[in-house]
Amino acid sequence: MLERLKVILAPAEDLMQSEIIHPVTRQKLELAYYLPICDEQKIHDYITVPFSKNQYPIMNLFLSNANFKRVTDPAKWNDLLLRGQALVEYQNQIFSFDALKYEYLNLPDSNFEPSIRGPQHSLSEDPIISLNIIRNSYMSPELVIDKMQIGNISQTNLYILYDQRKVNHHTLDNVKNKLSSIHIDLIHSSGELERLLNGKKYQLFPTLLVTERFDRIGRALSFGKIVLILKGSQFALILPVTFYDFMHSVEDHYESYWMTKMIVVIRYIALILTTTLPGLYIAILSYNPEIFRLQLAFTLVASRSIVPYPSFIEVIIMLVMIEMLLEASIRTPKLIGSTSTTVGGLILGTAIQQAGLVSSIMIIVTSLVAISNLVLPIHTMSLAIRFLKYPIIVAAIFFGLAGVFLGILYYITCLCSTRSFGEYYFRLRGNASSQHGDIGGTKPT
C-alpha cells in the first residue's frame, strides 16, 4: 500500500507512513495518515498499541470495531486520507480508521485583520494546529507541505505550503533557494523572515503578504501561491504577491457584490489621496491656485491669512504631529489608547488651528490623509504607503504640481520594476506568461 501511496500522493512532509513489524510474530502492519488532521492518540490507542500487545488477534478487532471500515477501491484512498482517516494494511486487507481532528477550538481570535462575517480565528502559534485547519479547509491531494529548519541555534521549523499543480515551480525553486541561503542564529517572528526574504534593502513596497487569516491562505493556495508558516508565529507569509493583493480584503468575497466592488474603488481613491494630498496642498496653495474654483481660492486665502509660515512648514508640522499620534496609539495599552487619540486629535487639532499655526483646511487635509491611510486593508502596505507622501511633499515644495505628478510617475515606475520572487508585481492580469519583447520582462532561466 505504501508503495502505491507514494505514486498517488504529493510528497508531503506531514503524511505519516509507517511500517510496523511485530517483534515476536514478525507480522507486518502498514499505516498511513496525515499528521495534522489526525488524532495521533486515537491511532495509538486503537491500532499501534493493540497490535504490539497482541493479546487479541488484531484482525478480529479490525473486523469487529465499527470505527474500521474495509476499503477495497484504491481510488478512494486519497479521499479518505484527506478526510482524516488513517489507512491500515494488514494481511493484504486495507482498512480505514476515522481519526479526524479539527482544532478550531484552540485558535486565538483574529485581531489584526478582523472580519465581520468571515472566520473569526487567526493562525495559531503552534504550526500543527494551523496546518490542521489548513488541511481541513484545503482538502486537496495536491497540497504539499514541506518542512525545513531555519536559524543556526533556534532550528525553528518552517513549513512551506503550496498546491503542487498550480504553483509556479520556477518561483518555488527561487523561494527555496532563498530560504536555504538564509544564515541567522535566531528567528522569532515571520516579520523577521519577511525582511530576510524581501531581498532589496531599500524597497518601497512589500513584496510578500503577511496574514493571520485562514481564508486568505486558502485562497492564496488555490491561486498557486506559496505560503510559509513559521513555528511560534501567528502570521503566515504569502508569496509571490501582486500590488492588487494588498488592496484586497477577505471581506470582499463575503459581502454584497456591488458594495464590495465600490469599496475596492474607494480603497484606490484613498490610496491616491493619502499619497498625494499633502503634496497637492502645497502645490495648489503656493504654485497653482487656479486649479480650484475662485470661491474655494478665496476661502483658502481667508483661512490661511492668519498663518505666519509658508504652506510647507504648516504641512510638516501637522504631519509630524499625526505620525506621532499614530505611533503613540500603537504603543499605548488599549485602555489609554483612546484617550491619546482624543487628546491629540481633537483638542490639539482645534487648539493648533485657533492658535493660528495651521489653517483650517490643513486640518481637513491631515485628517483625510490619516483616515484614508487606515482604509487600506493590509497593515504592511498601509505602512509603506504612509511613507510615500513625504518625497512627494519635497517634490511639491520645489516644483509645484509638476513635482507631485513627477513623484507619482516615479512611484508607478518603481511599482512596474518591482518583482515579487521573479513574478510581476504590478501586472493587471495575473496569469499572463511573459512574451518575447516584453518591456521589463523577467529573465527566463
Helix extents (H) in 190-232: 190-198, 214-222
295 forms part of the interface with other proteins (CB under 8 A)? yes
Question: What gap in Å lies between CA 420 and CA 427, rounded to an integer?
Answer: 11
Task: Tell me if 217 sits within 8 A of 225, measured CB to CB.
Answer: no
312 forms part of the interface with other proteins (CB under 8 A)? yes
Phi–psi pair at 96, nearest 5 degrees: -110, 145
363 forms part of the interface with other proteins (CB under 8 A)? no
Question: What gap in Å lies between CA 337 and CA 333, rounded to an integer?
Answer: 6
Question: What gap in Å lies between CA 95 and CA 77, rounded to an integer?
Answer: 10
406 forms part of the interface with other proteins (CB under 8 A)? no
Residue whose cell numbers read 511613507: 387
Nearer to other proteins, 268 or 309 (CB): 309
Among positions 57, 74, 310, 440, the unique one binding other proteins when judged by CB under 8 A = 310
Q: Which residues pair with 352 in a beta bridge?
A: none
297 forms part of the interface with other proteins (CB under 8 A)? yes
320 forms part of the interface with other proteins (CB under 8 A)? no
Q: Which one of 8-16, 48-56, 127-135, 289-297 is the stretch in contact with other proteins (CB under 8 A)?
A: 289-297
Task: Tell me if 368 sits within 8 A of 375, measured CB to CB.
Answer: no
- Count other C-beta atoms under 10 Å from residue 284's C-beta: 21
The least distance separating other proteins from the CB of residue 236, rounded to whole angstroms, comes to 33
The least distance separating other proteins from the CB of residue 411, rounded to whole angstroms, comes to 18
Nearer to other proteins, 174 or 360 (CB): 360
Query: Beta 236-239 vs 226-230: how paired, if at all?
Result: antiparallel
Per CB under 8 A, contacts with other proteins among 100-159 are none
Nearer to other proteins, 214 or 281 (CB): 281
What binding mask, one character per residue, do residues 371-400 give for other proteins by CB under 8 A, x or -?
-----------------------x--xxxx
User: What residues have CB less than 8 Å from 404, skipping those under 6 apart?
Assistant: 276, 279, 280, 283, 392, 395, 396
Question: What gap in Å lies between CA 377 and CA 250, rounded to an integer?
Answer: 9
Among positions 60, 64, 177, 305, the unique one binding other proteins when judged by CB under 8 A = 305
Nearer to other proteins, 191 or 289 (CB): 289
410 forms part of the interface with other proteins (CB under 8 A)? no
Nearer to other proteins, 310 or 441 (CB): 310
Positions in the binding site for other proteins (CB under 8 A): 284-290, 294-295, 297-305, 307, 310-312, 394, 397-400
